[in-house]
Structure 1
Amino acid sequence: MASNQELVRATACAIVDKLNSGEVSPLDLLDVLESRIAEVDGLVNALPTRCFDRARSHAKTLMKQPKGERGLLAGLPIPIKDLTSVAGVLTTQGSPIYRNHIPDRSDLLVEHLESNGGVVYAKSNTPEFGAGANTFNEVFGATRNPWDTSRSAAGSSGGAAVALATGMAWLAHGSDMGGSLRNPASFCGIVGLRPSIGRVAHTPNFKIDRNLGVQGPMARNIEDLALLLDAMSGEHPADPLSLPVLPTSFLAEARSGKRPKRIAYSPDLGITPVDPEVAAITRKAALRFAEAGAIVEEAHPDLREAHECFHVLRAFDFAISKAELLRSKRDLLKPEVIWNIEEGLKLTVEQIARAEAQRIAMTVRTLEFFKTYDLLLAPATIVAPFPVENRYVAECAGQKFDNYVEWLGIVYAITLVCCPALSLPCGFTASGLPVGLQMVAAPRGEAQLLAGAKLLEDILGVRGTTPIDPRPPK
């Protein structure tokens, strides 16, 4: 068997090959992960809850099946974000309210992953209820960026991104409403994909058609990302919005070599300030698509209503999902969550109707835009990783923001128009911090998105920059 260090650095696709050949077992991998977590997690706090006994029990059951018949993941261990229920495992949602909550049943997403050969061994850290793109909470504390442990890992899937970047995971689950798969991917130098609505089935909570937030995959490279998307995808009757599995796998599509012909790049989507260094790095990366024969132009769809629209629809979501917590446990909620719920409770039907109409109008314009362009590129975050003590980004390029989520406009605008989008590592700042390029395709265009992202990943030569050992502040 390969050494622990070789296994930690191996790709998820390579690990699955080893599992299917019998070179390693799921139990071997759990031993490797337990050792790696003991070595590095004290420096970054990515996986505060571990369930290795449960994982080993599940692995032993899985190993009773013949090799090659254990699902797409074949026994590969995977952490689940702490917003999502895993039966018998502490699931806090980052909130003191649920500090001791152990659900009896897993979310159907977890059940689906486990039926596809995933072995859950940990819960990854998240901000309270996933609110705010900096991973800290009153239950477990802050998750730190491994490229500089004085910096934020972003969020809300920050624990998952850090686990990947430090070799404590080969693949990881996350979720995304306002960039929560894309922001931490950008800050941590890994890949995170927000899929189309319905691509990944999950247990509906509070509202059947609640769709601002989706579940999605995170990985260290595009092929691994596609592998996990394949393992997560599929319809389920309990999720009426869920989509059937496509005839061709996403991994095959990523490896297809299909090339986009026309690319749009925008430094700001016309709606937000952007740090000049981040804009320069992402622009340089986008222009390298020309090496594959693509035309690259500066353009973006008209998203001018994005801030107003998202503010209203996000607040409405908080109101329907957390108003009861505000009434009964206000003293245990962080200020940003209280503000979001109260904003939602103040909404009128007219405001909600206006926001829904704005979302439809922006989506129609975006669909028209994708008749001209195969992909839209933009920064995944408007700043490089900021000090972990800062709760959020209060200003950028001289512009102050009105609230704690407005700095995320460049990603939540894409959420609103129902497009799949990922963050691909595309370079580093002068101080050595990662920068992610947001890549967007038309709704349900994951295949085209993954093929294009794999092409640019090869051109940029960014594959293999993680995992790293956590690095102290410079």
Structure 2
Amino acid sequence: MTDHRRGAATPPDLTSLAAFDLSTRLRLREVSAHDVMTAYLDRIETLNPSINAIVSLRPRDELLAEAEAADLAPASGPLHGLPVAVKDLVATRGLRTTWGSPLYADHIPEADDRLARRLRRAGAILIGKTNVPEFGAGSHSFNPVFGVTRNPYDPARTAGGSSGGAAAALAMRMVPVADGSDMMGSLRNPAAFCNIYGFRPTWGLIPDDAEGDLYLHRLATDGPMARCPKDLALLLSALAGPDPKMPYEVAVPDLSALDIEALKGARIGWLSDWGGVPYEDGVLDICEAALAEMSALGATVETLPPPVSRDAIWESWTTLRSWAIAAGKADLWNDAGKRQFIKPELQWEIQRGNAMSALQVDGASRIRSRLNLAFADLFGSYDALAIPSAQVWPFPADWRWPESVGDVAMDSYHRWMECVIPVSLTGLPAVSVPAGFGENGLPTGVTLFGPRNADRRILSLADHWHQATDWPNRRPPP
């Protein structure tokens, strides 16, 4: 094992254990849900004020009472007795849900959405929410309701987003697992910024809520985040599964045991900077060093040219994204009294989407289809493809977004996350794995992705990597 661990807790306390280990111990009654809850709440009380990852935390006495009830009840699922904070884009019955917007600052839903229902059904105890950007737009978690979430490795910098609160809470051992969601790298980018794992599953494996349009505007998906791939698999097992109300179905893979030597003999295609996507100094070097280590573990890594041009992909993405956002936020936009409370970046997206023609959307969809077919051809020769998880290091928390990457000016609030788009457009299973730290002491990540329904294979590659490196055990400074 590569030795780069720093500050590991010895002996491990309950918050140092992997979620799959805690789940087993809870099921065997070797530990109590009450003690697990106490340990995590103590860490939240001590550490959360400095990074602001968890918001709308429920009262301690309520949570301890719920944990005691879990100790008396038979195990109800894979997350039985585990404390989980849910992303503040997920409606949770009786628990404040704001979407980071002042329009919903005091909103308390009367019903759970599907993800929250599945978490409860799996036995999780919902303790509160994790912070997000307003309506999840942008990869920096700040909003006018709760403020900014800070990076555990440098609180002056961002934790990323939109699942920034989830990633930061995981890195600080304030939760054992966390849900994320990903439209444009929203769980992969914060995973890279916070030195943890984020998995974007095959589109449809975790179904959306059966409401509104069920066919168009499908660019995002929920996914698990964790400190190890086995914990990703644990949470995925609770969230995945078909819904008869949805017009598609994806078979749930066997997640009970991952292939711990999956990198041996694996063929990986490295797409590097995709023919000119800009990166800050050192980011690509760290990714390439990680791929060299994967080669040492038995993989064959080859550098590939981009299968579809960078400009075509950007055109497709910005068209489809703005179109989807405009459709999803039409009710807010059409209410003049509410429109003024929408942040400028989101207003820009909605205005672009409202101006789209049907032929523009059709053209964007054709590019998307061409990329999907190009990937299918590549997967005839490669088990996985690799791209960086981010183009920049975690940037100052008081920025709205990076206005340049190196000496290249960014022409939109999200251009600095251009590298993640190929996976977002095609809905393929992808995992951001910790790749290491730069000379600045900040982490970054590399993304491995595979063909549709190769979720178990991609998680197995990540697990082999984790067993050999264990980057998340390089803890944030106290």
TM-score bracket, normalised by the shorter chain, equals over 0.9
- Give the one of 194, 201, 204 matched to 1:195: 201
Structure 2: how far apart are the matches of 1:102 and 1:171? 24
Match of 1:149 in 2: 155
> Take 1:3 and 1:105, find their aligned partners in 2: how far apart are those partners?
42
Distance 1:261 1:245, change over 3 A: closer
Q: Deviations over 1:34-89 (max 9, x none)?
A: 211110110000001112566455545544433xx421122211111000111000
8 Å Cα contact 1:426/1:437 also seen in 2: yes
The structure-2 alpha-carbon separation of the partners of 1:388 and 1:303, relative to structure 1 and needing over 3 Å to count, comes to farther
User: Superposed, which structure 2 residues align to 1:239-388 within 5 Å?
Assistant: 239-246=246-253, 248-249=254-255, 251-255=256-260, 257=262, 259-270=264-275, 272-304=277-309, 305-328=312-335, 329-388=338-397
For residues 15-45 of structure 1, give each alpha carbon's deviation from its aligned partner in whole angstroms, at most 9, with x where no partner exists: 1122012122222222222211110110000
CA root-mean-square deviation: 2.0
Aligned-pair CA distance for 1:434: 0.5
Q: CA deviation at 1:416?
A: 0.4
**Which residue number corresponds to residue 220 of structure 2?**
213
What TM-score comes out, normalization by structure 1 length? 0.93
Alignment partner, residue 87 of structure 1: 93
Alignment of 1:108-147 (within 5 A): 108-147=114-153
Range 453-462 or range 275-284, more displaced: 453-462
Paired residue secondary structure (1:174): strand
SS in 2 for 1:50: coil
Which of 173, 187, 190 is 2:179 aligned to? 173
Contact 2:34 2:71 in 1 (8 A): no
In structure 2, the CA distance between the partners of 1:216 and 1:51, relative to structure 1 (3 Å rule), is same
Shift of residue 266 of structure 1? 2.4
Distance in 1 (CA, whole Å) between partners of 2:262 and 2:116 is 31
Residue in structure 2 matched with residue 437 of structure 1 by the alignment:
446
Amino acid at match of 2:227: R
Q: 3-state DSSP class of the match of 1:198?
A: coil
Deviations 1:147-185 (A, max 9, x none): 000001110000000000011111001100000010000
Tell me how far apart the structure 2 counterparts of residues 141 and 399 of structure 1 sit (CA, whole Å). Answer: 29
Match of 2:406 among 397, 403, 426: 397
Q: Which residue identity is paired with 2:247?
A: P
| Equivalent residue, structure 1, for 2:5 | none
Q: Tell me, which stretches of 5 or more residues in structure 1 are unaligned?
A: none
Q: How many residues align?
A: 464
Structure 2 letter corresponding to 1:270: G
Alpha-carbon contact 2:133-2:161 (below 8 Å) kept? yes
Alignment of 1:407-446 (within 5 A): 407-446=416-455
- 1:185 matches 2:191: yes
In structure 2, distance between residues paired with 1:260 and 1:392:
40
Residues 152 and 103 (structure 1 numbering): CA distance in 2 closer, same or farther, change over 3 Å?
same
Kept after mapping to 1: 8 A contact 2:98/2:106? yes
- The CA deviation at 1:101 is 0.8
Give yes or no for the alignment of 1:21 onto 2:28. yes
Whole-Å Cα distance in 2 between the matches of residues 363 and 415 of structure 1? 11
- 1:300 Cα deviation from its structure 2 partner: 4.9
C-alpha distance in structure 1 between counterparts of 2:305 and 2:33, whole Å: 45
CA distance in 1, matches of 2:259, 2:119: 21
Separation in structure 2 between the aligned mates of residue 338 and residue 4 of structure 1, nearest angstrom? 51
Cα contact 1:260–1:375 (8 A) shared by 2: no
Alpha carbons of 1:196 and 1:57: their partners in 2 closer, same or farther (altered >3 Å)? farther
Cα 1:140–1:25 shift into 2, 3 Å: same
Q: Flag the 1:300–1:195 CA change in 2: closer, same or farther, 3 A.
A: farther
What do the CA deviations read for 1:70-111 (whole angstroms, capped 9, x no partner)?
211222111110001110000000001111111111011111
Alignment partners' CA distance in 1, 2:274 and 2:458: 18
Stretch moving more, 183-192 or 271-280: 271-280
Q: TM-score, normalised by structure 2?
A: 0.93
User: CA contact under 8 A between 1:81 and 1:124: conserved in structure 2?
Assistant: yes
Change (3 A) 1:256 1:201: farther
Contact 1:157 1:181 in 2 (8 A): yes
Deviation at 1:212, TM superposition (A): 0.6
> SS of the counterpart of 1:238?
coil
User: Structure 1 residues 429 and 205, CA, compared in 2 at 3 Å: closer, same or farther?
Assistant: farther
Q: Which of 65, 68, 82 is residue 73 of structure 2 equivalent to?
A: 65
Code of the aligned partner of 1:239: M
Cα distance in 2 for partners of 1:15, 1:465 equals: 20
CA spacing shift, 1:27–1:201, aligned 2, 3 Å: farther
Offset, 1:136: 0.2
Contact 2:184-2:424 at 8 Å conserved across structures: yes
Supply the distance in 2 between the matched residues of 1:461 and 1:38 (Cα, whole angstroms): 27
Give the Cα–Cα distance (whole angstroms) in 1 for the partners of residues 18 and 283 of structure 2: 28
**Residue 256 of structure 1: how far off its partner (Å):** 6.3
Give the gaps of 5 or more residues in structure 2.
1-8
Distance 2:353 2:403 in 1: 22
